[in-house]
Amino acid sequence: MRIVTTRFGELDVPDDYVYRFPEGILGFSGIELYFVLNNPKGGPFQWLQAVTPTSLAFVVCDPTVFMPDYKVRVRPEDLASIDLKDIAAGFVLVILTVPRDPKEITANLQGPLVFNPEKRLAKQIVLNDPAFTTRHRIFAPSAATPSGASPGAGAGAS
């Protein structure tokens, strides 16, 4: 399928690259079709681009890049709607918030996105774990930064 995006221009996206979020993403419940696009400039950040509206895209990342011990603990019924029996058979990304100062990038560790690559289905899971927040700073504060004004330590995925 040919998609004209506001950020990346015209893209040819094979149908088997498109994931369906049957329950949508929180705040975007009517939008079900997305594809993951590698950052054209390289690096660990990717884009979760909506098929429509093409103006909607989220910066996403594998959380193990910044938090190697991050684990998504879910019950089988949490994954039933995407037909995923074992989370290890899928992959996890988290949505990032990127402010003007990139040192202050935060990750939503409480609402990871779980993908079933075999079925091309995905779901945002809401974790009830006080260890995770929706605004986890992915960069550790610099020792030279007064009062820890820089972002906090990172996280990872499972």
* 12-47 confidence digits (pLDDT tens): 999 999 999 999 999 998 999 999 999 878 899 999
Tokens read off for 90: 């899928």
For the chain, the average pLDDT equals: 88
The dotted CATH code for 2-142 is: 2.30.290.10
pLDDT in tens, 71-88: 998 988 999 999 999 888
Cβ neighbors of 33 (< 8 A, separation 6 or more) are 18, 19, 20, 21, 50, 51, 52
